[in-house]
Structure 1
Amino acid sequence: MTHNARNSQQVVLVTGAGSGIGRAVSLSLARAGHQVYASMREIRQKNRERAEALLELARAEGLSLDIVELDVLSEVCCQAAVNQILARHGRVDVVVNNAGMLMTGITEAFSIEQVARIIDTNALSWLRVNRAVLPAMRRQGGGLLMYVGSTTARLHEPFLGPYIASKVAGDAIAEIMAMELRPVGIESVILVPGAFTSGTEHFAHSNAPEYFAIEQQYGDLPDRISGLADQLSAIDAANGGALDVSAVGQAAVDVLAIPRGQRPFRVVIDGQRKGTDAIDAIYHEKQAAFLRQMGLEDLILPAPSSAV
């Protein structure tokens, strides 16, 4: 490795790296020369085969990629994973908050416990992971918090009520923390993927509503859910074909290649081209104007961008 490569190498922690987007981001960043810690829970039990397969691929390609155990629902686990990385490197430069889950169905039919669980997993976990890493980033004088959001946080859809509520909550936590962290030199970027009908286990492992008796009261409306994947595939085809999850990984690589202080706050990666980037542009304009009126212009976030 050259001197310049060592200087540009970032120490990166990725959550939810066992499959899908998290795995793609981990591999893309490692292939770009970064030191990646791909994290997942239960690496000696449930996710043992995933962890071993990822390590074997990393060895075969000569990548700087290691596995670390991290359960985003446990503050102790989050801190322990970060401490493990700090013990080896003395720093952590980037955290990619990716771990998440999906629920699909009629919103009324989900239990309160189900909704609380997905908000915990998809939103509150970001706070846990950030709280574990931010003291080190402040000592370093900088760092990057990266998040995997969703276009559904801007354009809501039926049948995804708890999921979208969790992504909206996570988006708000990420955005407000981004403003609060700007004065100490810690940057934030939200990667905003559209729907990926393949390459992830989101749809295959989607949780159904607990109260089937309530769902039955909606007649044949729930039956329309099963056809949505085909509709998405048709939209992808009309826009030049479906994106692979590696597109999100490449977006992460591109963000890290941008000099500090010049990175956009949002990067949309949407094969369906739903237009959330246009909404983001207007939102940013209005938010910036209001912050100026409040005398908080130094907290204005960078303008959004679009990778696809």
Structure 2
Amino acid sequence: MRNIVLITGASSRSGARTARALADAGDTVYAGMRQTAGRDAAQAEAAAGYAAQRGVDLRVIELDVNLPESVNAAIHRLVAAHGRIDVLIHHAGHLGTGPAGALTPEQLAELNEVNVLSAQRINRAALPYLRAGGRGLVIWVFGPEPASAPYFAVEAAMDYLAVSYSAELARWGVETSIVAPGSPAGRSGRLCGEIARIVALPAGRRPYRVRLDVPPSAPDTSAYGAALSAAGTAAPPGPGGAAWSPSAGARAS
């Protein structure tokens, strides 16, 4: 049976590649993007073009994980079309760069908002449908290393949230996979294929935790990378810099 998949943060390079890999595997994929007619218009157009060229079921959906009304509208649209959600992928988030001492409380709250509270918004809207179906999969995607200490603090909160949800959801037959790319090269080069592999596995055989580590110098030779480069979808900038910037290392939106 074809899976109905929702992935957040699909306007980023790795999010777009993951959505395309799942669509190529035969799933119906809803690629959540924050502003499909604004800042993400080029990525939305590229996804639509990819779907038309490959003949796959890849659909762009407006989804701002920071806005409850946007989250609820996206989930309602998806369920109205299919009556269910099979796979939920938490990919949206931000990497902050810079020393911990440069971070204001407001900036830490912003980082927590995008990475942790947004996942809770999505869960509260989407998980009732997975529980009702008595099956499904939730995948949590973490950022690459190295990153900043404040980001790791927020990521730890996200990890504990994922672990807590895994225990709660297991009684309804909903599985959890936590995927950590490790290095930026691991994220760029292997993440999309690994997530597609996990989704395709039979229920009960999916890994609980996966860490992808590849040499940082490994070239990006995938077809997805070439397609995205041609479409103008740039890779997210790497970590670094003396001043704190919550958006400078954005991993998804």
Normalised by the shorter chain, which TM-score bucket? 0.7 to 0.9
Cα distance between partner residues in 2 of 1:26 and 1:182: 25
Is residue 37 of structure 1 aligned with residue 30 of structure 2?
yes
Does residue 149 of the first structure (1) align with residue 136 of the second (2)?
no
Structure 1 unaligned residues grouped into runs of 5+:
1-6, 197-241, 274-308
The equivalent position to 2:205 in structure 1, one of 251, 262, 273, is 262
Contact persistence 1:143–1:187 (CA under 8 A):
yes
Q: Which is strand-richer, 1 or 2?
A: 2
Q: Hey, what does 2:180 align to over in structure 1?
A: 192
- C-alpha distance in structure 2 between counterparts of 1:148 and 1:125, whole Å: 13
Identity, in percent, stands at: 37
Between Structure 1 and Structure 2, how many residues are aligned? Answer: 216
Aligned to 1:177, which of 158, 165, 171?
165
Q: Are the counterparts in 1 of residues 183 and 212 from structure 2 also a CA contact under 8 Å?
A: no
TM-score (norm 1): 0.67
TM-score, normalised to structure 2, is 0.81
1:244–1:171 Cα change, 3 Å: closer
- Judge conservation of contact 2:131–2:169 (CA < 8 Å) in 1: no
Amino acid at match of 2:89: V
Instruction: Pick the structure with more helix per residue.
Output: 1
- Structure 2's unaligned 5+ residue stretches are 217-253
Work out the CA distance in 1 between the residues paired with 2:190 and 2:144. Answer: 15
Cα distance, 1:246–1:54 mapped onto 2, change above 3 Å: farther
Partner of 2:118: 125
- Indicate yes or no: 2:153 matched with 1:160: no
Over the aligned positions, Cα root-mean-square deviation in angstroms equals 1.6
**Within the alignment, does 1:83 sit opposite 2:76 as a pair?**
yes
SS in 2 for 1:120: helix
The one-character-per-residue Cα deviations of 1:225-279 (angstroms, maximum 9, x if unpaired) are xxxxxxxxxxxxxxxxx44724111111111121101211111112159xxxxxx
Give the Cα–Cα distance (whole angstroms) in 1 for the partners of residues 109 and 187 of structure 2. 30
The residue number in structure 2 matching 1:71 is 64
**1:67, 1:143 → 2: CA distance?**
21
Q: Which has the larger radius of gyration?
A: 1
SS of structure 2 residue aligned to 1:174:
helix
Higher relative contact order (Cα pairs below 8 Å, separated by 6+ residues): 2
In the alignment, the residues of structure 2 paired with residue 55 and residue 151 of structure 1 have an alpha-carbon distance, to the nearest angstrom, of 28
Deviations 1:33-55 (A, max 9, x none): 10000011111111111111111
Q: Secondary structure at the match of 2:60?
A: strand
